[in-house]
A and B are shown apart, each in its own frame.
Chain A
Amino acid sequence: MTAPVSIETVSKIFGAFTALDAVSLDIRAGEFIVLLGPSGCGKTTLLSILGGFLSPTSGRVTIGGQDMTYVVPSKRPTTTMFQDYALFPHMRLVDNVGFGLRMRGLARAERDEKALGFLDLVGLKASAGKRPHELSGGQRQRVALARALAVDPDVLLLDEPLGALDLKLRRQMQDELKAIQKRVGTTFVHVTHDQEEAMAIADRIVVMNQGRIEDFGPPSQIYMRPRSLFSAGFMGEVNFVSGRVAAADASSAKVETALGSLALPADNFTASAPKAGDRITLTIRPEHFRADDRAEGPTVTLGEARVAGSAFFGTHYRCHLQPCATDTRALVAHLPQSASVREGEIVPLAVRAADVVALPATGHA
């Protein structure tokens, strides 16, 4: 089963600390949603409120159209996969997976059959008679998933479930999670602080910071068209360049920066439409710098820069480029393997106008 989830201006206050500040979010049935943010951003608090382990200070939560704000966990159409797996150490795997069915009054034969089916789904049918301590971390992970899915929840909540696994296993489990989610069709809400994990599995990502939602959308949109400086910085390496809108009309804007001025389409102002005089920050991903300004269509240039250092990273060269115009911080650029850059060389700072996102400047930018 599956159900949409609606979070309406939910706040949670612990004493003097505001963990969630009027968060609203609509999740479609069958979506794989990832709550992404640094520790303390409120993502786990939000998940606990969805699971019923915490009640919001104010606001409303509905699942499948029904008000769930104050319903206890055992009466909700949700199950949670805990970070430490929380398997029952004294039970065999088949009993672990069948526990929820037992609580729903299923007879042993029937629940064992269903439990074995779910163990099969995660590839552990052969270990049904084992106990959790005989398993590896990745296997426990799978049992926790099977146990949470066995009761056919409308919404599965995953609390940093891959945090304890090593990198290789984590990548593998991400693919498995995604495949299983597609197969069962349940709405998944997954919490993580790893932006690569978020991009690997999410249909839509919710970027959170300090109890607020900073950005919400498909991974490509969050990465290419971030709607906040925090979101831009959290999703990967990015260069910030401060500037000012010199002139703006409905379709484009002229921006002045210390590196020179450039014209940007109005669409690139993702947070709010440009107005002349606005203080803004341009965000440029390192891979958007072009090795030479002739390739791949029209580019804009931010003057020239001296290559202060470069290192070969396999998929690209990572270069520090010191702009010639000012002595501000060096920019980071990822240039293609084919590029031949030498330290001390002068290169143009060329980017495609469409790749530069302009956001309102804030104090820390």
Chain B
Amino acid sequence: MLRRIFANVLSWTYLVLVYAFIFLPVAVLVLFSFQDGRLPVPPFNGFSPQWYEAVFVDRKLMAALGNSLIVALVSSVISVLLGFLAAYALARYKLPGSALQRGLLIAPMTVSYLIIALGLLSLMNALHIPLSLMTVGIGHVVINLPLCFAIIYASMGDHHINIERAARDLGASDFKVMALVTAPMLMPSILAAFFLSVTFSWDEFIIAFLLSRFDVTLPVEIWSMLRSGLNPKTNAIGSLVFLASVAVLLILELSLFGRTKKS
């Protein structure tokens, strides 16, 4: 009896500690974004929304937020599209060296973002392409394409082959089969790939830092704010970024897992 209570207490303590370990930093960040004072460090002086007001009137921060959104959405759309096409080709056609091609497509996942960023940086220099949000977007496609490919490829089962055959048999062209049958059937995994890409792009720093110049994304802007010292305003913007990520995750959960339960 006593042993069971002890085991129970121990496992609950463990659970609380794990969650504390994961979420305490975020909790502290959010808490001190409401700090009524100039320093985001204890003691907590009371609640004030002033730093959020400061964030929303900060033109540079708002511009960076918009940039991040554009880069995340555009690069994710491109990654999903390219990933889907590659997955479709490798799943449905006999291609030369298909195992090798699959490996090559997934390989960038194993390379560190820093190496990818450095490589792209020297490539852009060699090609005399000026750094911009576009180059950041290109970098994000490089890191997200393997992910999108892997997710979509894994969901392309053989049981879909006959369904695509049926569509072709009823007169659909290859493009129509893909657009009207294959893509809608794979929508859950396509959406999963898209939303994961968005979150990865949304808070990616190294590539965005090295491949941007005048227009920067939010993580880069936050970093430059941090250089001028700690400030509850950075906590406020951090909390907003966190909120955005949670929102995307919730959309993912509701749209996707709601769907799969139904079908």
Cβ of B122 to closest chain A Cβ, rounded Å: 45
- Bound together, the chains give a CA A89 to CA B180 distance in angstroms of 11
A87 at the interface (CB under 8 A from B): yes
Chain B residues closer than 8 Å to A82, beta-carbon distance: 162, 165-166
Chain B residues closer than 8 Å to A79, beta-carbon distance: 169-170
* CB-CB nearest in chain A for B172: A103
Chain A residues closer than 8 Å to B165, beta-carbon distance: 53, 73, 80, 82, 86
8 A Cβ contacts from A297-356 to B: none
Known: A90-B184, A103-B176. A84 touches B169 (CB 8 A): no
- Bound together, the chains give a CA A74 to CA B171 distance in angstroms of 4
Contact across chains for A51 and B167 when beta carbons are under 8 A apart: no
A-B contact pairs, 10 of them (CB 8 A): A52-B169, A74-B171, A74-B172, A74-B173, A86-B165, A99-B167, A99-B170, A99-B172, A104-B171, A151-B171
Known: A103-B176, A133-B263. A88 touches B171 (CB 8 A): no
* CB-CB nearest in chain B for A82: B162
* CB-CB nearest in chain A for B170: A100
Contact across chains for A51 and B263 when beta carbons are under 8 A apart: no
B residues sitting closer than 8 Å to A (CB atoms) are 159, 162-163, 165-173, 176, 180-181, 184-185, 187, 263
Q: Of the candidates B169, B173, B185, which one forms a contact with A90 in the assembled complex, judged by CB atoms under 8 Å apart?
A: B185
- Bound together, the chains give a CA A285 to CA B55 distance in angstroms of 93
- Bound together, the chains give a CA A72 to CA B172 distance in angstroms of 11
A204 at the interface (CB under 8 A from B): no
A147 at the interface (CB under 8 A from B): yes
Query: 1/0 per residue A143-183: CB within 8 Å of B?
Result: 00001100100000000000000000000000000000000
Q: Which of A51, A100, A131, A147 has most B Cβ within 10 Å?
A: A100
A residues sitting closer than 8 Å to B (CB atoms) are 51-53, 72-74, 78-80, 82, 84, 86-90, 99-100, 103-104, 131, 133, 147-148, 151
Contact across chains for B187 and A103 when beta carbons are under 8 A apart: no
- Bound together, the chains give a CA A188 to CA B82 distance in angstroms of 42
* CB-CB nearest in chain B for A72: B168
Contact across chains for A86 and B170 when beta carbons are under 8 A apart: no
Known: A89-B263, A90-B187. A84 touches B162 (CB 8 A): yes
- Bound together, the chains give a CA A148 to CA B263 distance in angstroms of 24
* CB-CB nearest in chain B for A48: B165
Contact across chains for B169 and A74 when beta carbons are under 8 A apart: yes
Contact across chains for A80 and B172 when beta carbons are under 8 A apart: no
Cβ of A148 to closest chain B Cβ, rounded Å: 8
Chain A residues closer than 8 Å to B173, beta-carbon distance: 74
Contact across chains for B170 and A89 when beta carbons are under 8 A apart: no
Besides A73-B165, A73-B168, A89-B185, 18 more A-B contacts (Cβ < 8 Å) are A52-B169, A53-B169, A74-B168, A80-B166, A82-B162, A86-B162, A86-B166, A87-B163, A88-B166, A88-B181, A88-B185, A99-B167, A99-B170, A103-B172, A133-B263, A147-B170, A148-B170, A151-B170
Chain A residues closer than 8 Å to B169, beta-carbon distance: 51-53, 73-74, 78-80
Contact across chains for B163 and A86 when beta carbons are under 8 A apart: yes
Cβ of B166 to closest chain A Cβ, rounded Å: 4
Chain A residues closer than 8 Å to B171, beta-carbon distance: 74, 100, 103-104, 151
Known: A74-B172, A74-B173, A99-B170. A88 touches B163 (CB 8 A): yes
Chain B residues closer than 8 Å to A51, beta-carbon distance: 169
Chain B residues closer than 8 Å to A90, beta-carbon distance: 184-185, 187
Q: Which of B165, B170, B172, B263 has most A Cβ within 10 Å?
A: B170
* CB-CB nearest in chain A for B174: A74
- Bound together, the chains give a CA A98 to CA B166 distance in angstroms of 13
- Bound together, the chains give a CA A51 to CA B169 distance in angstroms of 8
- Bound together, the chains give a CA A104 to CA B163 distance in angstroms of 18
